[in-house]
Every structure is written in structure tokens, then in C-alpha cells.
Amino acid sequence: MEKYIIHGQKPLIGDVHISGSKNAAVAIIPAALLVAGKCRIENVPDIGDVKALMDILVNLGAEVEYEDENTLAINAENVNTYIATYEMVKSLRASYYIIGALLGRFGHAEVPFPGGCDFGYRPIDQHIKGFEALGAEVSIEHGIIKAKAERLTGASIYLDVVSVGATINLMLAAVKAEGVTVIENAAKEPHVVDVANFLNAMGANIRGAGTDVIKIKGVDRLNGGTTHSIIPDQIEAGTFMIAGAANGNCITVKNVIPKHMESLTAKLTEMGVKVEVIEDSIRVTGAGKILRANIKTLPYPGFPTDLHPQTAALLCLAGGTSIITEGIWDSRFQYVEELKRMGAAIKVEGRVAVIEGVKNLTGAPTKAIDLRAGAALVIASLLAKGKSEISNINYIDRGYENLEFKLKALGANIKRVSV
């Protein structure tokens, strides 16, 4: 077990290089199971969730090796099982992509229900509805999702809710189905587009990713030999932009796609923070006093739910009352009790948090409850007076590459210690 010790209120100044997108990587790595050949994936973030997925692929019989620190070579030629065990998938939400990938490759998948961060009910009914529309018989027995089809056939699928996971999983299952699949009310997140680009590079025929109608014309085979570079992580970039927004800080977030950051850029500007786009970098200069703001999280291009807790931490020091409405998850407010230990004044009612700006946060012992809640505590600790300790940082390691090294390079006083 490890924890962070942070002494707050040190100015954060300088450049930070953003790693590859976690949520693209955790879909693209399983997507490599679709082809009986080798693919190279560049700009893979070195994070816990990627390691967990690599283990799953190795256990299924794939060869997975690092060519360098951030380039993975995956050869799934020898994978000859469609069964994943509970031990393999229990810690990882994105293990649901193994279902779509194995179903797409073998017409058969048996995968236990996924694990992952707990912020309320996380159903996968839309994934299942889509697999069934493609002709799979799906049953749930003893906690295992079993999907089987003689032949997958293209279908028109309207998603009842905009779901990133269902959109990607249905692309994986449909790439080799017979005929045309249309996913309507599809998610438009940047990582959906990245996965489609990876599949197209292997010979798939997917059009419309990034809009709410995706058309997939099934192909007979996919080809190995592809190299794909993962897009920069929108949420890591946003986390550093939020860290840069405090008084006295000036952070240039490098290697980003500024278009992906527009909803955050607009909100930070509304809060009085200076945000400048310079090609593929964004410079954030902290505001003397953060102005209050209201936020509602929505599917892309709306404000991302995965930046909600970090933004809440910043708004704790705003002048006046801010309101955050969570539009995606039932229960994403578990970070609130931890921020209160640091002097935050937040009330939660249903899916709404009312944040009264306070003069100061003060360092305290806290616990990361999930990945982005952990990131929020890091931001709060950087803003707070004195010493904070954050335990359970294994959650943070699941999704942020070298967070403390990147923060230290900017001037933060942060240390990882073993407990």
C-alpha cells in the first residue's frame, strides 16, 4: 500500500507532457484480439488499467510485449479461447470490451461481469441489447455473460442512453458481422473515434464515428501489421489544466488536442482563468480569485463527468456558490466527504452538489475512493495550506501515468511513500 504526502500551496509552473488516452487504450488493447496477427500500439499510457488488460490478453494466449516504454506489440494469433475468468476481469470495468472482441473474433464469448470504480449502478444492458440485435444469444449464468452466435449479422441498433462502452463494444462485435450495422444515438467521445480509426487501419469499414450515427459495413477479415498511435488523454490534460487554474500557477499542457478540451476551456475562462491555445498545447494561467460557476456533466462534447470531482475541488476556493449537476452517474459524490475533511463546504442533494467557496482548504488525511475522486484530492491537497496525506493511491495509478513525477517537475511538493 502506498500513499501520497503533499505539502500544498507551492506554485506550479512549467510544461507537462500528456500521455496517451486511458479510455482509448483500454478499448484498443482488447480490439487487438479481433485479428489473428500482430499490431503495434504507440503512445500507450503506463497505468494500472493497461497492465491489467495486458494480463487478460496474455491469459487468453496472446503475445504482448513492450517494444519501448509506451509501445505495445500484441499478437493475438494463438488466442484460441473465448472464455475469460473472474480472476482476470474482476478489477477492471473495461474488461467488458473482451466480450465484444471475442464475440467479433470467434462468435462466442464467456466473460464474468466487469469490476471497476464504484459510482452507483453501472448496467451493461445496452451492450447486451446490441449483441442480441446482431444475432447473438446472450445469457447470464453464475455471474458470467455468455454470448454466442452462429453468424453475427448487421442490424440497426438505437441506444436508449448514450453509452461510450456500448458504442465501442458494438463496433468490436460488428466489424466482421455480415452486412451493415448502424448504431444510432452513439457516443461521440474522442476515444470512440480513436478506436474506429484503429479498426479501420486493420481493414474494418466504419464510418461516422464522432457523430451520433455510426455505420459499420462488415468485412470478411482484418489484417495484422497495423501501427496505431493513441490520442492524448483528454482527462489527464483536463486534470492538469484545473491544477494550473489556481492563483500563482502557470502550466503549459503539451501534446493535447485543444478541440477535445473546449468544454473545460470555456468553463475555466468563465471562472476568470486565462486559457491560451498554442497549436497542440494549452497554457493555463491561474486566476487571482476563481469565480463561481455552474456545471452540468454530459456526454461529449458536454462537460466530462470524469473531470467533475477535480473541478469541484477547484470551486471549493471560488468566490460565491457553485453548483455541479452530475448528468451521467448516480453516485459520483463520494469525494465530497473527503474534501470536507479539508474544510470544503459542500452539500449534496441527489445528483447536485452545492459548493460554497471557502477562504482556505487545510491539509488533512484523506482516502481516494475512485480514480477521479483521487485526482480531486490531489488537486485539493495542492491548493491546501499545510500537509495532506492521500491513501488508496492505487486508484490514481490505474489512470494517471507518473502523476507525482509530472507534478514534481512543475514544482509541487509531493511524495509517494509505502505504508
- Kindly state the smallest distance separating residue 369's Cβ from ligand EPU, in Å: 12
Choose between 40 and 129: whose C-beta lies nearer to ligand EPU.
129
Element (H, E) at 243: helix 234-244
| 117 noted as active-site residue | yes
Q: Is 239 in the site for ligand EPU (CB under 6 A)?
A: no
- The torsion region of residue 327 among left (phi > 0), alpha (psi -120 to 50) and beta comes to alpha
| Residue of 21, 70, 75, 163 interacting with ligand EPU (CB under 6 A) | 163
Q: Within 4-23, which residues bind ligand EPU (CB under 6 A)?
A: 22-23
Stretch that binds ligand EPU, among 61-69, 123-131, 285-293, 360-368 (CB under 6 A): 123-131
Cα(392)–Cα(284) distance, integer angstroms: 29
End-to-end CA distance of the chain: 6
Residue 329 near residue 371, CB atoms below 8 Å: no
Choose between 162 and 317: whose C-beta lies nearer to ligand EPU.
162
Cα(365)–Cα(360) distance, integer angstroms: 16
Q: What number of helices (H) and strands (E) belong to the chain? A: 14, 23
- The SS3 of residue 215 is strand
- Kindly state the smallest distance separating residue 101's Cβ from ligand EPU, in Å: 14
Residue 127 phi, psi (nearest 5)? -65, -50
Q: Is 94 in the site for ligand EPU (CB under 6 A)?
A: yes
- Kindly state the smallest distance separating residue 30's Cβ from ligand EPU, in Å: 11
Q: Is 164 in the site for ligand EPU (CB under 6 A)?
A: yes
- Whether the bond between 112 and the residue before it is cis, its omega within 30 degrees of 0, is no
Residue 109 near residue 98, CB atoms below 8 Å: yes
| Catalytic one of 39, 117, 250, 316 | 117
Give the amino acid at 76.
A
| Residue of 65, 67, 77, 125 interacting with ligand EPU (CB under 6 A) | 125
Stretch that binds ligand EPU, among 39-47, 164-172, 196-204, 225-233 (CB under 6 A): 164-172
Choose between 117 and 273: whose C-beta lies nearer to ligand EPU.
117
Q: Is 351 in the site for ligand EPU (CB under 6 A)?
A: no
Residue 306 near residue 372, CB atoms below 8 Å: yes
Binding string to ligand EPU for residues 175 to 194, with x set by CB under 6 A, is what?
------------x-------
| Residue position matching grid coordinates 442533494 | 349
Strand 180-184 and strand 156-158: pairing?
Answer: parallel
Q: Is 124 in the site for ligand EPU (CB under 6 A)?
A: yes
Choose between 194 and 404: whose C-beta lies nearer to ligand EPU.
194
- Kindly state the smallest distance separating residue 121's Cβ from ligand EPU, in Å: 6
Cα(381)–Cα(391) distance, integer angstroms: 12
Catalytic residue IDs? 117
Q: Which residues bind ligand EPU (CB under 6 A)?
A: 22-23, 26, 93-94, 117, 122-127, 161, 163-166, 187, 235, 305-306, 328-329, 371-372, 399
